[in-house]
Amino acid sequence: MLEEFDNYYARFEKASIGRRIGASIIDFIIYYLIGVILGLFFDTQDDGIFSYNLEGIGAIISFCFMFFLWPISEGIWGQTIGKRFVDIKVVTKKNEPINVGQAFIRFFLGIIDFFLLIGIIVAAVNKDNQRIGDAAAGTFVVKSKYNG
């Protein structure tokens, strides 16, 4: 029985800060490219292909993609596209999938974490590699291959 208990906690290999940053960069690139594509269809100004101004329906579609890309996909699958690419996911301390509410807490506090790179600093000094959003939501980012 004790061996099963030890194996259970051995499966929690925390994701490195480098993997987390890599996943975030991938997600931001995807979101930016979606914006560029929307800009091609909905931009009313001609400032060049990589400069766009979204208003009205284009802005609403972009807003919906943002929520799907981050909190909704994390709440449903425990991963964003970037996290899936670098093989990490978000779980509770009991290694269970997070819910959409926890994902939204992580997302909205992620804005604070992003400001002046506070999230990286907090995660680097935290023994569980949790940023402010993770601590508030009770979540951890772990390597997927260890968490079947």
20 found inside a domain = yes
- Confirm whether 22 is domain-assigned: yes
Q: Is residue 5 part of a domain?
A: no
Look at residue 132 and tell me if it is in a domain.
yes
Count CA atoms within 13 Å of residue 32 on its CB side: 9
pLDDT of amino acid 48: 62
What DSSP designation does 16 have? P
Query: 64-72 long-range CB contacts below 8 Å, 24 or more apart?
Result: 65/31, 65/34, 66/31, 69/27, 69/30, 69/31, 69/34, 70/27, 70/103, 70/107, 70/110, 71/100, 71/103, 71/104, 71/106, 71/107, 72/100, 72/103
Report the pLDDT value the prediction gives residue 5, as an integer from 0 to 100.
37
pLDDT at 28 over 60: yes
Domain membership of residue 114 (yes or no) is: yes
Model confidence at 52, in pLDDT bands (50, 70, 90)?
low
Given a cut of 90, is residue 2 above it in pLDDT? no
The upper half-sphere exposure of residue 78, i.e. CA atoms within 13 Å in the direction of its Cβ, equals 18
**For residues 10 and 37, which has the higher predicted lDDT (pLDDT)?**
37
Say if residue 32's pLDDT is above 60: yes
Number of structural domains the chain divides into: 1
Asked if pLDDT for residue 11 goes beyond 70, the answer is no
Q: Are 89 and 103 in contact (CB under 8 A)?
A: no
Residue 120 lies in a domain: yes
Residue 1 lies in a domain: no
**Per the domain annotation, does 102 fall within a domain?**
yes
Burial class (CB in 10 A: 0-12, 13-18, 19+), 76: middle
**68 alpha-carbon distance from chain centroid:** 11
Q: Which amino acid is at 145?
A: K
Higher pLDDT pick, 16 / 40: 16
Q: Which residue has the higher pLDDT, 21 or 5?
A: 21
pTM of the model: 0.84
Residue ranges making up the domain that contains 93: 13-146
